[in-house]
A and B are shown apart, each in its own frame.
Chain A
Amino acid sequence: MNGAFQDGSPIFHQVEKRISDNIVSGKLTTDDQVPSTNQFAKHYQINPATAAKGINRLVDKGILYKKRGVGMFVASGARKKLVAERQQLFYEEFILPMLEEAEQLDISVEEVKKMIDGGI
Chain B
Amino acid sequence: MIIQCEKVTKIKQGTSILKEFSWEISAPGIYAVLGPNGAGKTTMMQILAGLTSIDAGIVKVNGASPFENRKILSDICFIQESDNFKPTLTVGDVIKIVRPFYPDWEQELAEELLGQFQLPKKRRLKELSKGMSSALNMIIGIASRAALTIFDEPYIGMDAGARKHIYQVLLEDFMEHPRTILFSTHFIDETENLFESVCILKEGEKVFEEKISSLNERVLRIRGADKKVKGYAESGDVLHTSVFFDDTTAVVLFPSDNVPPVPKDLQTEKVSLQDFYIHYTDRMKEGEVQ
The interface of chain A, by Cβ under 8 A from chain B, is 8-12, 38, 41-42, 44-50, 53, 92, 96
**A111 to B168 alpha-carbon distance, docked (Å):** 52
Q: Which 3 A-B pairs have the closest CB atoms?
A: A10-B216, A49-B196, A46-B193
**In the complex, which residues of chain B have a beta carbon less than 8 angstroms from the beta carbon of A45?**
167-168, 171, 193-194
Main SS at interface, chain B: helix
A44 and B193 contact, Cβ closer than 8 Å, known pairs A10-B216, A49-B211: yes
Cα-based distance from A92 to B270 in the complex (angstroms): 20
Cα of A50 to Cα of B172 in the assembled complex, Å: 14
Known: A12-B216, A96-B264. A50 touches B270 (CB 8 A): no
Known: A44-B193, A46-B193, A96-B264. A53 touches B213 (CB 8 A): yes
- Write the nearest CB–CB distance from B121 to chain A, whole angstroms: 29
Q: From B171, B196, B216, B264, give the contact of A92 (CB < 8 A).
A: B264
In the complex, what residues of A have CB within 8 A of residue B217's CB? Answer: 10
**Chain B residues closer than 8 Å to A12, beta-carbon distance:** 213, 216
- B interface size (C-beta, 8 A): 20
7 other A-B residue contacts (CB within 8 Å) besides A10-B270, A45-B167, A46-B194: A8-B270, A10-B213, A38-B175, A42-B175, A50-B212, A50-B213, A96-B264
Query: Judging by beta carbons under 8 Å apart, are B195 and A47 in contact?
Result: yes
Which positions in B face A, CB cutoff 8 Å? 29-30, 167-168, 171-172, 175, 193-196, 211-213, 216-217, 264, 268-270
Task: Say which residue of B30, B264, B270 sits within 8 Å of A47 (CB atoms).
Answer: B30
Q: Which residues of A contact B216 (CB under 8 A)?
A: 10-12
Task: From A9, A49, A92, A96, give the contact of B29 (CB < 8 A).
Answer: A49
Alpha-carbon distance between A48 and B167 when the two chains are bound, in angstroms: 14
A48 x B213 contact (CB < 8 A): no
B196 in complex: contacting residue of A11, A38, A50, A96, CB < 8 Å: A50
Of the candidates A8, A38, A50, the one whose C-beta lies within 8 Å of that of B193 is: A50
B235 to chain A, nearest CB (A): 20
CB neighbours of A48 from chain B (8 A):
175
- Nearest-neighbour CB distance to chain B for A30, whole angstroms, equals 28
Chain B residues with Cβ below 8 Å from A42 are 171-172, 175
Residue of B167, B168, B193, B264 near A11 (CB, 8 A) is: B193
Q: Is the CB of B270 within 8 A of A9?
A: yes
For the complex formed, measure the closest distance between the CB of A4 and the CB atoms of chain B, giving whole angstroms.
9
Contact across chains for A47 and B268 when beta carbons are under 8 A apart: no
Closest A residue by C-beta to B27: A49
List residues of chain B with CB within 8 A of the CB of A53: 213
Minimum Cβ distance to chain A for residue B154 (Å): 18
Q: List 27 A-B contacts (CB under 8 A).
A: A8-B268, A8-B269, A8-B270, A10-B213, A10-B216, A11-B216, A12-B213, A12-B216, A41-B171, A41-B175, A42-B175, A44-B193, A45-B167, A45-B168, A45-B194, A47-B29, A47-B30, A47-B193, A47-B194, A47-B196, A47-B212, A48-B175, A49-B211, A49-B213, A50-B213, A53-B213, A92-B264
